[in-house]
Amino acid sequence: MKLLDLFKSIMRFKTYIVVFSFLLLACQQQTELSSINPENWSKRKVVLSEQDSLEYGKSYLSIYSQIYSTSEHKTHNLTAMASLRNTSDMDTIYLLKVAYYDTHGDLIRTYFDHPIYLKPLETTEIIIDEHDTTGGTGSNFIIEWKIPKNCPEPLFEGIMNSTMGQQGLSFTTNAKRLQ
């Protein structure tokens, strides 16, 4: 009789483990590939006139969602942030388009398809999550923007970081104006 009770207890325990495992898996949320919610961009939407006196610019920003580690066959994933900054303390600036490309120059995603504004000295960010490796070791952004005449140019920086155990890694990149 005791053997039968022991067997029932073991089976009950296994059942609890299976049910708990299913509940745990059901509660896990799928991670987003980019932490910027498109609704944030729509709140900043503006309409610009074709006849405005704004100066057009286009910048290139290198981003590293992965770097090589030990050899060319092993990579280390990074969290990457594109920091988009209005350096003017007086003027609002406008971002027309921010497009993210992979190592091979293929478009991964465009963050918005309408102009948005940044108030004086305002900053916004685009975060590429550590698990988003679609960009690879040579990913980049093309950022199109408009500013008022005699306004300081915007500042675009990439900040990459990762921490594993007791080791931390971080570095930055700066955008280069193309037009």
Contact 83, 125 (CB under 8 A): yes
- φ/ψ of 36, rounded to 5, equals -90, 120
- Local confidence band at 43 (pLDDT 50, 70, 90 cut-offs): confident
**Domain assignment present for 33:** no
Q: Which residue has the higher pLDDT, 72 or 40?
A: 72
**Domain assignment present for 142:** yes
CATH code of the domain in which 165 resides: 2.60.290.11
Long-range contacts, 102-106 (Cβ 8 Å, 24+):
102/134, 102/135, 102/136, 102/138, 102/139, 103/135, 103/136, 103/137, 103/138, 103/139, 104/136
- What is the bridge-based pairing of β-strands 167-174 and 155-164? antiparallel
**Domain assignment present for 9:** no
Angle at 42 between CA 27 and CA 44, to 5 degrees: 125
What's the pLDDT at 7? 63
**Domain assignment present for 147:** yes
Taking 80 as the threshold, does the pLDDT of residue 178 lie above it? Answer: yes
Contact 132, 175 (CB under 8 A): no
Q: Is the pTM of this model over 0.85?
A: no
Question: What does the DSSP 8-state code read for residue 153?
Answer: P
Q: What is the extent of the structural domain holding 107? A: 38-177
Number of domains forming the structure of the chain: 1
**Domain assignment present for 132:** yes
**Domain assignment present for 115:** yes
Question: What residues have CB less than 8 Å from 68, skipping those under 6 apart?
Answer: 74, 75, 76, 137
Taking 60 as the threshold, does the pLDDT of residue 172 lie above it? Answer: yes
Q: What is the pLDDT of residues 52-77, one digit of tens each?
A: 889 999 999 999 988 888 888 888 88
**Domain assignment present for 21:** no
Name the residue with tokens 């679609």. 134
Q: What is the pLDDT of residues 81-120, one digit of tens each?
A: 999 999 999 999 999 999 999 999 999 999 987 899 999 9
**Domain assignment present for 172:** yes
